[in-house]
Structure 1
Amino acid sequence: MKATSIVEFVRDTYKTDEFIPLHAPMFDGNEKAYVMETIESSFVSSVGKFVDEFEHKVEAYTGTPKAVATVNGTAALHTALYMAGVQRGDFVITQALTFVATCNALYHMGAEPIFVDISPVSLGICPKAVELFLDEHAEVTETGCIHKKTGRTIKAVVPMHTFGHPVDLDHLVSVCQKWNIVIVEDAAESLGSFYKGKHTGTIGNFGAVSFNGNKIITTGGGGMVLCKSSEIGIRTKHITTTAKIPHPYEFFHDEPGFNYRMPNLNAALGCAQIETIDTFIREKRVLAEKYDELFKGTDLQFVKEPEYAQSNYWLNAIICPNQSVRNEIISETNRMGVMTRPVWKLMNKLPMFKNCLVGDLKYSNWIEGHLINLPSTPKLIITESL
């Protein structure tokens, strides 16, 4: 299939001759009313009713016992890793095919990623690849899972649900239980995605969600930690709010904490957005079905949700037969005003992570050279292009 056919389809779908971004925020509900309410109340920062309300709405939607709002998704992941017990010098197994924020959170904790391959089914971390790496390089001792060559602790596994498609979590949980490793789900892209009926981010020890402007719903900038229990959630909230003991006027902090509080202004936007998330996802799934039909019988393979999951189809993607076809389609579609892009460069190929330990990344390397992301806004509203 030629790039011109893709452009014609996208333009016909969005009914516009203007530039078509990869993803754009949609404001169809109470966003303006709720944001104006915060402005008129003067409670625009970390104090105000919408932060608590947004947390409760996310808890109800995802089924998590406690959700803790943060200033962005990276802060949510950093907090989740901290609460999971990851310490300076620890190894954390993750996928090389991910957005850099996954690894930046580890770097700023003083932890170090180990990169293993992804699954061709989910495009997220492959549980078998995790198991193979551990079988060859690790052992379980009284102090935990240890990397045999260095003696360093392998503390956690961080699966990232790529483009909203859930990882095979049952298999991953089984592997991690065997090796005494915690799971912190990077669910930045997968709000609204379900693994066997359970929301992503709620199956591991912790989950982290993003509300960046290009996500399924947005708070402008923001994130959320999904916690396994209310008790853990209370301490997580405490940590993200400078670990300050409540008092009418005195300042007393009982441990080192983060200032990762989501402003009330952003939470107001989130409260309005999550009211319409079911509509957003329904429309995104319809768009995915249209793409799937378009590419049937062609040399381009549409990336579909795993059979065990229901995906939000955050970013639609196709796999090309070779890198030359990929490059031509990306070049031509962008030249014609329809944004497409390649997948991220593998993390182990970036300068700051080039010396990290790696497993066999055969499929990750192949996908890096063959995948294209396509416009994925369910209905285009020309506001802010992302």
Structure 2
Amino acid sequence: MSGFISLSVPNFGEKEAAYAAEAITSGWVSTSGAKVSEFEEALAAYVGMPRAVAANSGTSSLHLAAMAAGIRRGDEVIVPTLTFIAAVNPLTRYVGAEPIFIGCNDTLCIDPDAVEDFCANHCTLKEDGLYNNKTGARVRALGVVHVFGNMADMPRLLDIARRYKLILIEDATEALGTRYTAGPLAGKAAGTMGDIGCYSFNGNKIMTTGAGGFVVSNHADWAEHAKHLSTQAKADMLQFLHDEVGYNYRMTNVQACLGLAQLERLEGFVETKKARYDQYKAALDGVHGLRILPFKEESDGVRSNHWFYSLYLKDSGLDRDTVIAKLQEQGIQTRPVWALINEQADYPKNEAYALEKAQDYRKYIVNLPCSTNLTEQDCERVIAAVKNL
């Protein structure tokens, strides 16, 4: 058997090593240093925003976004149930709010029809906002996750948010590089269309700083507030005076150096992701009842980053966990999609709607290896193993 094929690992090279060494030899290795500001400027330019605020993780970025947006105890936030739990905890529990879970459509992203139905038929729109008929609480925000880099239906979701007076928070932690190429939002990148958006540079993302994140916002004061909160809310740097509760959510200079190097390579990573996805799709889609779930493509007016690939087993007769175990035995790492958040500890008491597709995809998806350094030969080995299950 050839070497182990990981699910998704970093792709570092000489450039990353050289940039990180520059920070180390300069002595600026902590949360001060010019490279953090340089990375903020470069990332903002890449996604087409006036400013980006660096943070130490995608999770802390979402927490900053929730606080900057003014979500507070007693509020409710509409969120997807099919996503990683870090997309929900910071927007709800971290700030004392409650989630309302909504299922997905076939993009795996939150279903706009279900969001519309909840707002129209389970809530009352008043002059100061939307109120949940069941709880009486104000529904303050809508959290949208671009799952696996697939663009959510932003024209619909933005319209719903506007009509029902909801703050729209975009979780683009998996979607750096995804953007609209046509239609009313042409040129807009995932994460930049709502009120505030977040990115992640965790080790398995399309580009990584080991750990890290970013906040961008269409409200300049929200971005400024996020920056203030991320740096311990210092009102007077010399005298150590703090005007509110702040957090140590800053990115280090070494991480920023890695990010600058990775950002220079990002478009190449996107090309590789698309090539390996096309390879899987050509070889496996429709074979023995298997499907490779689609991404929105150029024909849909979207350039996707194709971050994570989903093998769908429903019509194949194969069992998800058995497939994962058999591939593991052959040195191929895969995983199921996340357990639904409305079923996780502390969340079953919260409202949940339109879960059928999310439950189906949870049961039948296996994520295949998708690293940006996955070779064509490695991909062929995975394909052969899947065909022989």
Alignment TM-score, normalising by the size of structure 2: 0.90
Aligned length in residues? 364
State yes or no: 1:179 paired with 2:167.
Answer: no
Structure 2 residue 277 is matched with structure 1 residue 292: no
The verdict on how the C-alpha distance between 1:135 and 1:230 changes in structure 2, with shifts beyond 3 A counting, is: closer
Match in the other structure for 1:198: 188
Q: Deviations over 1:324-368 (max 9, x none)?
A: 433332221111110111100000111221111111211111111
Say whether residues 1:47 and 2:37 are aligned partners.
Answer: no
Distance 2:159 2:219 in 1: 21
Distance in 2 between the 1:152 and 1:205 partners? 21
Report the counterpart of residue 51 of structure 2 in structure 1: 66
Q: Over residues 23-67 of structure 1, what are the superposed CA-to-partner deviations in whole Å (9 max), with x where a residue is unaligned?
A: 010013521111111111111111101100110110111011211
Moved more, 194-203 or 47-56: 194-203
User: Taking CA–CA contacts closer than 8 Å with sequence separation of 6 or more, which of the two structures ends up with the larger relative contact order?
Assistant: 1
The 5 A counterparts of 1:247-286 are 247=237, 249-286=238-275
Query: For 2:76 and 2:64, how far apart are their aligned partners in 1?
Result: 17
Q: Give secondary structure in 2 for the equivalent of 1:267.
A: helix
Instruction: Please name the residue that 1:311 is paired with.
Output: 304
- Secondary structure at the aligned position of 2:227 is classed as helix
1:112 and 2:102 correspond: no
Report the 3-state secondary structure (helix = DSSP H, G, I; strand = E; otherwise coil) of the residue aligned with 2:70. Answer: coil
Q: Secondary structure at the match of 1:159?
A: strand
Contact 1:316 1:373 in 2 (8 A): yes
In 2, Cα distance between equivalents of 1:240 and 1:376: 32
Q: How does 1:1-386 map to 2 (within 5 A)?
A: 17-105=2-90, 106-120=92-106, 122-195=107-180, 196-247=186-237, 249-298=238-287, 299-306=289-296, 307-321=300-314, 324-380=318-374
Following TM superposition, by how much is the alpha carbon of 1:245 offset from its aligned partner in structure 2, in angstroms?
2.8
Instruction: Report SS of the residue matched to 2:211.
Output: coil
Report % sequence identity. 38
In structure 2, what is the Cα distance between the partners aligned to 1:130 and 1:168?
Answer: 12
Contact persistence 1:66–1:229 (CA under 8 A): no
Matches of 2:321 and 2:244, distance apart in 1: 51
> Could you say what secondary structure the match of 1:353 adopts?
coil
Segments of 5+ residues of structure 1 without an aligned counterpart are 1-15, 382-386
Q: TM-score w.r.t. structure 1 length?
A: 0.91
* Shift in Å, 1:231: 4.2
Most deviating of 180-189 and 31-40 = 31-40
Contact 2:173 2:200 in 1 (8 A): yes
Q: Cα deviations across residues 219-260 of structure 1 (Å, max 9, x unaligned)?
A: 11111001114443223212211121354x321222322221
1:108, distance to aligned residue in structure 2 (A) = 1.4
Q: For each residue in 1:196-219, what CA deviation from the matched residue of structure 2 results, as whole angstroms up to 9, or x when unmatched?
A: 431100001011111001111111
The whole-number CA distance in structure 1 between the counterparts of 2:93 and 2:219 is 27
Alpha-carbon displacement from aligned partner over 1:121-173 (angstroms, at most 9, x marks no partner): x2100111100111121111133111112110101111111111010000001
Contact 1:188–1:209, Cα closer than 8 Å, also in 2:
yes
